[in-house]
Amino acid sequence: MRYLIAIFSLITLILTSCRADFDFERSNGELRFSKDTVYLDTVFTNIGSSTYTLKVYNKSNKNIAIPKIQLEKGATSKYRLMVDGMPGKQFENVELLAKDSMFIFVEVTAAAIDANPSDFLYTDKILFGEGTGIQKVELVTLIQDAIFIYPQRTPISDTAYDYESINLGTDANGNPVKIKASILSENDPVNGNELLWTNQKPYVIYGYAIVPSNKTLVVNAGARVHFHDQSGIIVAQNGSLHINGTSSTTSTMENEVIFEGDRLEPNFSGVAGQWGTIWLSQGSTNNKISNLTLKNATAGLLITGNDGSNLPTLTLKNTQIYNCSNVGILARTASMKGENIVVSNCGQTSLACTMGGKYDFTHCTFANYWSSPNQNCMVLDDYYETQSGITTVDLQQASFKNCIFYGSSNLSIKLTQKGNVYNYDFKNCLIKFFNPSTQLSSNPLYQFDSLAYSACLVAYNSTQSKPDFKNTAKNDFRIGANSAAKGTANFMYSSGTSDLKNSVRNNPSDIGAYNWITFD
């Protein structure tokens, strides 16, 4: 009997203790928050934001119940909350243990018309509690109006759609390869002239925007173009792309054309591979790009073939390409001319001139500090492989004048010759070529004392011919006073030109896309 009484007393004690542990008092304004304002980064009109977090603390010794957690604008609010794993806009009697905390997740989808017309800010508040004990956390989002270009879709069932697409051919098994795409029109019923992109509103591209044959897409100075995942531009045969950016005078790059992904949060500003490519397809012609900054693509520019004329299929000037997951510029049997180009931080190589072609680059900086030991700055070859073997294509010209090739890997350039016509030359270039095992010393393509390398500076180790870049982590490839590139260019290729910052080149001029500066 005494044994049963002891057990009953123990159970009573445990139950009494549990009730004490989980008694909840009404919250009365004593909550603490990780921030007093949640700033949700800029979003495009009617496009959902990322998820943001707010941490709520109960720093008292009491278990509390928050009578209400709600959005001040109620059911009409464009914000969405998740509290204790439950989505909604109002929650009642939310319990929080003593010395404990919880996360509240916040998202928003709003249109520009919902925002304040003077500053395009959309705001609301999260209210905690009732009556005189209400506490508030502000919510603020900048809503940016935009022009959306996307493939049309046709419902084929209650849950499935057939999207507008183009056929790129067939795969190895003979199956058609299709991609979601929309053909740009001069008379689109919603967007009007889709072949003229201005700086009035940003453009958001879903799928691939197709420049049709015999048409030209003109992109005006100051235009901002954002590409969704697996999106880009394709210029068709006999079509053209003209990007007409101009030099900017402020850090806002007001006259530069900027191509990037559609994730506007700061955490995505340097994430590679967010979208596809700008593809100048076989037979596209008279493509001209000036003052473009392109970043975070898979392959920045893809140029396949040429238009068959003696003029470059692509003329590229004052252009920066960064953070591409594969290649910055991938040219295949292309014909292109480039001046004042910076390409860096690409998963495989910054510049790939492949399958022969004709190339002429002056005052360019091809760098690569991707976190891999196998990447390089430039690849040059004259062949392609199929199941039936190797086919060579004439490398008619590959000329590099006053250019820098430098990065984190030992070899900045990779040259491969399979055919008989392989014309290349480097004049007054700075080239990193650490070759500790000397396995390439006898390769005829790397004889730096030959006519193919005229007045070049070759960095054979970490102390020789350093470029003295300002900040490679931030893609700032301006050179400093201690750069080996300072004053060592051939002015014959510099005379009458300006650098990427629109600063006139003087004699003696500097190798690369920039004149040297004194670092702060």
Question: Is the Cα dihedral 485, 491, 492, 497 positive or negative?
Answer: positive
Per-residue pLDDT of 120-139, as tens digits, reads 999 999 999 998 889 999 99
Going by pLDDT thresholds of 50, 70 and 90, the confidence category of residue 54 is: very high
Could you give the percent of the chain with pLDDT greater than 90? 81
Partnered with residue 220 across adjacent β-strands are 244
Predicted local distance difference test score (pLDDT) of residue 438: 77
Predicted local distance difference test score (pLDDT) of residue 386: 87
Per-residue pLDDT of 347-405, as tens digits, reads 999 999 999 999 999 999 999 999 887 899 999 999 999 888 999 999 999 999 999 99
What value does the mean pLDDT take over residues 310-323? 97
With contact defined as beta carbons under 8 Å apart, do 50 and 99 qualify? Answer: no
Q: Residue 159: how many CB atoms within 10 A of its CB?
A: 6
In this structure, what is the dihedral angle of CA atoms 356, 358, 362, 367, given to the nearest 10 degrees?
-20
CA 441 to centroid of chain Cα atoms: 38
CA distance 131 to 114: 28
Predicted local distance difference test score (pLDDT) of residue 6: 47
pLDDT at 308 over 60: yes
Q: Residue 32: how many CB atoms within 10 A of its CB?
A: 12
Going by pLDDT thresholds of 50, 70 and 90, the confidence category of residue 22 is: low
Position 422, amino acid = Y
Position 374, amino acid = N
pLDDT at 19 over 70: no
What angle (nearest 5°) sits at the alpha carbon of residue 327, between those of residues 398 and 432?
Answer: 60
pLDDT at 515 over 90: yes
CA distance 507 to 393: 39
Predicted local distance difference test score (pLDDT) of residue 21: 55
Per-residue pLDDT of 417-453, as tens digits, reads 999 999 999 999 999 999 877 778 889 999 999 999 9
pLDDT at 2 over 60: no
Per-residue pLDDT of 456-503, as tens digits, reads 999 999 999 999 999 999 999 999 999 999 999 999 999 999 999 999
CA distance 263 to 274: 8
CA distance 295 to 227: 11
pLDDT at 29 over 90: no
How does the average pLDDT of the chain come out, rounded? 92
Report the half-sphere exposure of 445 (CA within 13 A, side-chain side): 16
- As a CATH number, domain 25-144 is 2.60.40.10
Which of 483 and 267 is assigned the larger pLDDT? 483
What value does the mean pLDDT take over residues 289-305? 97
pLDDT at 15 over 70: no
pLDDT at 243 over 90: yes
Tokens of 214: 């015999």
Going by pLDDT thresholds of 50, 70 and 90, the confidence category of residue 267 is: confident
Going by pLDDT thresholds of 50, 70 and 90, the confidence category of residue 4 is: very low
Predicted local distance difference test score (pLDDT) of residue 81: 97
Q: Is 124 helix (H, G, I), strand (E, B) or coil?
A: strand
Per-residue pLDDT of 138-194, as tens digits, reads 999 999 999 999 998 888 877 788 888 888 887 778 888 888 999 999 999 999 999
Partnered with residue 391 across adjacent β-strands are 384
Map tokens 């010393």 to a residue: 441
Per-residue pLDDT of 396-421, as tens digits, reads 999 999 999 999 999 999 999 999 99
Could you give the percent of the chain with pLDDT greater than 70? 96
pLDDT at 8 over 80: no
CA distance 461 to 448: 15
pLDDT at 13 over 70: no
Predicted local distance difference test score (pLDDT) of residue 101: 95
CA distance 172 to 404: 39
What value does the mean pLDDT take over residues 260-288? 95
Domain segments of the chain as ranges: 25-144, 147-493
